[in-house]
Structure 1
């Protein structure tokens, strides 16, 4: 049997090094350890510039691309664009800081050298993928970002949970291809809190039936599902630290369910106020429904304010008078207010019952004021001071030049009468 051997005993030291790197590529497509370490040495000391570019010449390679693609034993005989793809494979020992630094330096230098020759590893297939991603962002805005996070992130996996949840995450690591918000954030150059806000916004949207799949049903590489209009994203996502699922979207969805309406329909209306305004202006029936809703809303808010007033009086044991004084109430008055509060907070209490409880508590406050001469005096003094302040402010707003320019007999008489009233009041006070 003939055995074919390849002798490399006549090669220079530099060519020997290039030969070993090329042999690693040829043998199995690039063993990470051997190939990456070999590339690091070839780049670090400029070996590729020290070998001749071909047979019967001492001229060096003029570009790194030329060296990579030249036939052995002078070059590696490998497509430069493919080499860039191999660079993405991690070295087995990159957990060592020194090795990681060496690999990072090598990769950066190889990419720089090839970029100078117009080789970036960027393919038309990659371009198509990025253009499709741009189109998704353009059409769906934050929805696509939320969808991507929901596909990639598993909440509770290494996000600062308790020890038991961490142990569960370790046990399930082999069964799940998702990563933690912390790892996602580290790779994306953002904060875990921001990643979780996208996650929670997606879950809130699922709960409100705005999207058809929850994060638990999604996985990395999941085909993009139908996403709502970009304008709706703000109903669920908040850039602040408060949880997205306590925002407008959940409240609107809950109200819609209470009315027997699909949450999606109510959310679409809420997300497009311009369309709502147009419908109100163009359609009398829609305008009538809007007026009825606003009237109902005003009544609901008024009822809530009345209940809160009664609750504050009953629980705090004090109240504010019309004049702005805060007065302490007796235990008897406080107990009576508590009785009215029980009526107002009754789930079956209608607007009339709440209004009666509110008016009854106001009457209690008036009785307290009238029963105490000192409080009553302060109330009257406050009322007079308020009236005089308003009058003084109105007079101060009059420009004398403008008054002179337009003054007639009627204005002169009214001003004289006002002066007379002020003089009489001042005289009464000075004689008291």
Structure 2
């Protein structure tokens, strides 16, 4: 689509050749061709062509700013010595302005011409139009116009550009650099919502442009496709989900439920949990310098055992998150546990204490089980069977034998 500008925004039709350069440069400071959103501006009547000599004079006046070369083999001196079509020159100037100012160029057009609602105001503001009327003239939506309006408003609050009240239709000002524009403008309606604001804040915290994050959020199907197809994207998604679950109990519950209902995932979680417990067992020995015996005692770890645990833990840390980590965790656990059992057997005092602790543990379990028997139900209901009495009699005999052995051991010692 061809973009043309009205004479009021470019050099006057009757300007002298020598004045064309300055007039064109001033007009180009705020009237470049639409680069990002071609449907934004209403095409107007073509500008009257300039005198043949004007473009050459304009290039001579801008010689200090001329590029050093574009790498296509043509020299700058050849270009400057030629007479170019005025339309080409104007497009080049417009392109240069837009390259320097970006969206600020079009935001200025909105800021100086639009008054939301079209309310009457003092002075020249009466000539401004509503965003709806401006959009109708431009051939775009009022929402798009308001996004430019809001971007200018935020920049004005920061003191980067003038407030709307001091701008009048056709006014020219010095515009900020193009790179700053993206800090104020978003092309998406969702950015103004609570959800959009949260996404914007998270994107800024990660050091990326909010528009990128908003685009992903608005197209979850594309995100799903990228996760399914690309391991790198899947890894980034996994890390993000884990970080979010730390502060989102509802998501934790949903993920746990999804895993529990999927057999393969449930087995994988159980396997990883087992490996994590084994690594934790080895790590505790290294960090605390203590071992836990099979009977549950906690004692100081021998130097040899601790050194072996350190060796295995170092290897496990190197294999962290690898497929071999689970296998090496099992080997480390079995090795260290075997050394613990050996240490217990080689220490007479520890061996005796271990057996005593084991006996007490068994006695406590048996006592608890027997206490849980509800004898009242046996007496009140017809649940008695001969086998029950036989088992209790056998238990009584075993207990009697144990008591006799303990008394004999006590008398001997």
Q: Bin the TM-score by the shorter chain.
A: 0.3 to 0.5
Higher relative CO (Cα under 8 Å, sequence separation at least 6) belongs to 2
